[in-house]
Structure 1
Amino acid sequence: MAKHHGTKPWPLVVLTACPLHGHMTGTLQLATTLHAKGFHIAFAHSTLNPPDPTNLPPDFIFLPLFDHLTAVDDSRSFTTFLKEINNECKASFKEHLIRLIGEGNKSIVVIYDNNMFFAGIVALDLNLAAISFRPNSAAYLPATLARLQLCQQSRFLEQDFVMNEMVPNYHPIRYKDLPFSGSPIEDWKELVAIFNRHPRPSAIIVNTIKSLEHEALTLIHNHYNVPVFAIGPLHKIKPTGDATHLKGDTSCITWLDKQSPKSVIYISFGSLATLDANVLTEMVWGLAQSNRPFLWAVRPGSVCGWEWVEFLPEGFLEETKDRGLIVKWAPQKEVLSHFAVGGFWSHGGWNSILESVSEGVPMICQPFIADHMVNTRYASYVYKIGIELEVFERGEIERMIRKLMVDEGNEIRVRANNMKKMVEIALESGGCSHDSLDDLVRFICSC
C-alpha cells in the first residue's frame, strides 16, 4: 500500500549508480537511507559490478541496465568509459521507467549519479523529477568547472601552466590538483562536449557536510540555481553491509585486536588505482624502515604486471611478519573505527576521506586520479588532518610515516578528533546533515 505525505502518495524513488566502487557504495548508502525514511526504492544498475541484494532491504526492486562493459580500470580513457556507459544504458533505463509508469506508479522521482547523466535526460523527457547525486566532495565540482573553463579557452595544463601555482578564483586549488591533469587534450575536448549534454537537475544531493564544505556548496548552488542537499556522511546515517562486488577480509579485525592502541597504520588505495612497480619498491622499503605495525589491503591486480603480492621484494615479508598483515580487501569502516588504528595511508578517494574524518583518523594521502588530488589538497592544506605524499623515495616515505604516527601525530590527531566531533554534531537532531536530509525528504515528496 502506498505511503502518503499529507494528501499525496509517496513517490517511488528510482536510483541509478555508476559501477565504479566508490560511486556504487555512496548510491547504495543513499538508497538505504531513503528506504529507512519510508520510500519505496528501485535501483537501476549496470551489468558491470552489480550490487549484492543479499545485504540490501528485501523489497528493493532491481533494474538491470544492459551494457557491454567488462571491466573498469584506470588504464582506459575516462571519457571513453563515460560515453560508452551513457550511450549503452539509456535505452533499457527508459524501458524500465515506461514500464513502471504503466504499472500504475503515478509519482516517480529519479536520482542519478552525476556520471550517469543519461538517466536525468530520460527522466526529464518523461516529465519526471530528476535529482543529481554527487558522491564526490563538493569541492570537486568547482575544480572540474575550472578545468572545463580552461579547456573551452583552448588552454591546457600540459602546455600553459606552472603546475604548483594556484588557479585564480579557485583557492586553494593548484593547477596540479585539477582533475585528470594527465589526460590527453582530445579527451578534454570530448569531456567539454559531454559536460554540455548534462541536463539541469531539479536538485542536487552531495555526500558531504555543510559545515565542512560550505563555500563549495554555495558555488554549486550558484552555478545550477537549484536546491542543494548536503546529507553526509551517508555511511554514518544508514550503514550498509558489503553490498558491492568487493568483500572485506574480516580476519584482519582479529589481528588488530592484538595490537596496541593507535599503533597501526592502515594502507589502502581504493578499488581503481594501479601502482607502478618502481614507486612500490620505495613504498615497501620506506614502510619496512619505519618499523611501524601495518595492515595493508592489496587489491588483486592493483600492481602493474603482478597478480597479487608477488611484487614484494625478497626479505620484506620475513622482516615484517611480526608487525604486518596483508589482505586482499579490508572492511574499511570497521578498520578505521578500531582502537589499534592510528593512521590511514590512502589514495584520497572521497569515501575514504569521509570515513577517516568520521573516526578521527589522520591520513597520509597519495593521490592517483580524478578527484583524489582535490580531496588530498583539502585534507592536507585546509582541514590539516593529513599530509600529502609527493616524493616517492624510501627515506621520505619513512619520514612521512614517522611524522604522522609519532612526531606530529598528536597535533594532527587533535584536529582529526575535532572534525569527528563536527560530524557527530552534524548528524544529531538540529545538525546540518540531519536537517538537510529532512529537507530532502520533503522535497522528494513535493515532486
Structure 2
Amino acid sequence: MIQLANMLHHKGFNITIIHTKYSCPNLFNYPHFTLHLIPDGISESEVSTTEVVTMLKLLEDRCIGPFRDILAQLSSDDSIACIIIDAIWYFTQEVADNLKISRIVLRTSSVGSFLAYAAMPLLQDRGYLSIKEGVNKFLVKMVEGTKKASGINFNTFKELEEPELAKLGEKFIVPAFPIGPFHKYFSASSSSLWTQDRTSISWLDTQATNKQPFLWVVRPGLVHGMEWLEILSKEFLEAISERGYIVKWAPQQEVLSHPAIGGFWTHSRWNSTLESICEGVPMICSHFHGDQMVNSRYVNDTWKVGIKLEKGLERVEIETAIRKLMVGKEGEDMRRNIMSLKENLDHSLKPGGSSYQSLDKHISSFRTPV
C-alpha cells in the first residue's frame, strides 16, 4: 500500500494515510504523506493468540467508528478523489457509500488466487472443500465488498495473468487495473517493518555464480517459544558454516537480483513470487496457507518456472527438487520460461506497455466523476 501511495504521489496526488496505531509503518520516511491514526486498542498478546478471522472482526468493531469520523472530516471540503483500501476491510464500503466517496480496493494477492477465494463458498456448498464457517463468511463478505467497489487494483501485469483477468471480467462488473509489479516503481525495502541484515549481500559477493551454498532467512520469533536459532544445535551450525549463511531478515529484491543466486526456496506468497519472476529466478515452493497454495500451483503447473513440493518438508523430495532446479535439464527449462516472463514484465512497465497504460487509465478514473 505504501508503494502504491508513492506511485500515485509521483503522479501528482496528495496522499493521506489512515492506519491503525498497531503496527504502523515508520512514516518519518514519508514526509510527503499525511497520517491519521485509528485508536485500535490492539495488544501484542491479542495479535499472537487471536485467530486471523477473529482479529479482522475485532478490527472492524474497534476501527469502523474512528475510520468513519476521520473520513467524514477529510471529505468535508470535497477534495477526496477516492479512497483506496485493502479488500479485506470490506466493511468500509458502507462508510464510503454514505459519504458518497469512490472506494477502490487493493488486492495484494494474484488475480488467480482472488478467483479461487471467490469460488470457495460454492466449492464448500458442493462438498469439495471443508472451510470453517467463520472463514467462509469472511470470504463471502470480502468478495461481495469487492464487487461493490469502483475498481480493483492488482499488483500484477497483464501478460502474466491474462486468462485470469479475462475470467475476472466475466464475473465482476467492477473494472480491474493490473498495474504491477509495484516494487519496480518503488522498492519494498523502504516500507519494510523489519530491519534488514545487509551482510547477506556481502556474503553473496564472495560466492560463485549459480553454485549450491545457501542463504537462509530465519525471522526472529517465527517458531513459537524460540527467540531465534536455539532450536538448531551447535553441531548443525558448525556443519553448515562453510556452505550456508543465516540472517534474521534480508533485502529480498537485492538478494534475488544477485548473480550468485540460482534459485529461491519460498513460501509462495505473492510478493515473493512476483519478485522472483522480476529477477528471472526459478522457485522451489513450500506452501502453508492462504494464497500460497494457488501461487505455488501456478508456478509449477501453469508458468512452469519452479517446483512445488507435494510432500511438505520431506528430505528426499527437497534434495531432488534442489538438484533438478540447480543442475538438471528441468532447471534449464524453468530458467528459459521465467526469463520469458521477465522480458514481458519489463516491457509492461515501459511507455505503451500493459501496466503503464493500466496505471494511466486508473489515474484518469480518479479524475472522472463516478
**Alignment TM-score, normalising by the size of structure 2:** 0.93
Partners of 2:161 and 2:105 lie apart in 1 by 18
Counterpart residue number, 2:158? 210
The one of 333, 350, 363 aligned to 1:428: 350
Contact in 2 for aligned 1:50/1:244 (Cα 8 Å): no
**Aligned twin of 1:402:** 323
Gaps of 5+ in 2: none
SS in structure 2 opposite 1:316? helix
Q: What is the aligned partner in structure 1 of residue 133 from structure 2?
A: 186
Answer yes or no: is the 8 Å Cα contact 1:242–1:248 preserved in 2. no
RMSD (Å) for aligned C-alpha atoms: 2.0
Q: How does 1:185-334 map to 2 (within 5 A)?
A: 185-191=132-138, 194-195=141-142, 198=145, 200-263=148-211, 292-334=212-254
Instruction: Please report how far the alpha carbon of residue 250 of structure 1 lies from its aligned counterpart in structure 2 after TM superposition.
Output: 1.1
Distance in 1 (alpha carbons) for counterparts of 2:266 and 2:12 = 35
- Say if 2:28 is the partner of 1:41: no
1:101-150 Cα offsets, whole Å, 9 max, x none, are 23x34333101110112333211210011111111100112101221112
Offset, 1:240: 4.8
Partner of 1:162: none
- Counterparts of 1:60 and 1:92, CA distance in 2: 19
User: 1-side partners of 2:60 and 2:68: how far apart?
Assistant: 12
SS in 2 for 1:45: strand
Q: How far apart are the structure 2 equivalents of 1:235 and 1:74?
A: 29
1:355-403 Cα shifts (integer Å, max 9, x gaps): 0000000000100111000000101110111101122222221121111
What's the counterpart of residue 94 of structure 1? 68
Q: From 415, 425, 443, give the equivalent of 2:337.
A: 415
Distance 1:195 1:243, change over 3 A: closer
Distance between the aligned counterparts of 1:188 and 1:83, measured in 2?
11
Partner in structure 2 of residue 64 of structure 1: 37
Contact 2:152/2:177 (<8 A) preserved? yes
1:393 aligns with 2:314: yes
1:154 to 1:136, Cα distance in 2 relative to 1, 3 A: same
Instruction: Give how far 1:417 is off.
Output: 1.2
Does the CA-based 8 Å contact 1:348-1:366 persist in structure 2?
yes
Does the aligned pair in 2 maintain the 1:79–1:191 contact within 8 Å?
Answer: yes
Which residue does the alignment assign to 1:179? none
Alpha carbons 1:67, 1:85 under 8 Å: kept: yes
Counterparts of 1:250 and 1:91, CA distance in 2: 42
Identity among equivalent positions (%) equals: 39
Instruction: Give unmatched runs, 5+ long, in structure 1.
Output: 1-26, 159-182, 264-291
**Distance in 1 between residues matched to 2:16 and 2:93, nearest whole Å:** 15
Instruction: Please state whether the residue corresponding to 2:287 is helix, strand or coil.
Output: coil
1:445 to 352, 364, 367: 367
Task: Determine which of 129, 143, 164 is the counterpart of 1:157.
Answer: 129
Report deviation, 1:218: 2.1
Please, which moves more after superposition, 33-42 or 403-412?
403-412
TM-score normalised by structure 1 residue count:
0.77
Q: Write the distance in 2 (CA, Å) between the matches of 1:387 and 1:197.
A: 34
Shift in Å, 1:73? 6.4
Work out which structure has the larger RCO, using CA pairs closer than 8 Å and 6 or more positions apart in sequence.
1
Counterpart of 2:162, as a letter, is H
Write the distance in 2 (CA, Å) between the matches of 1:253 and 1:323: 15
Deviation at 1:87, TM superposition (A): 2.4
- The answer as to whether partners of 1:385 and 1:412 remain within 8 angstroms in 2 is yes
Do the aligned residues in 2 keep the contact of 1:32 with 1:240 (CA within 8 Å)? Answer: no
Do the aligned residues in 1 keep the contact of 2:282 with 2:338 (CA within 8 Å)? yes
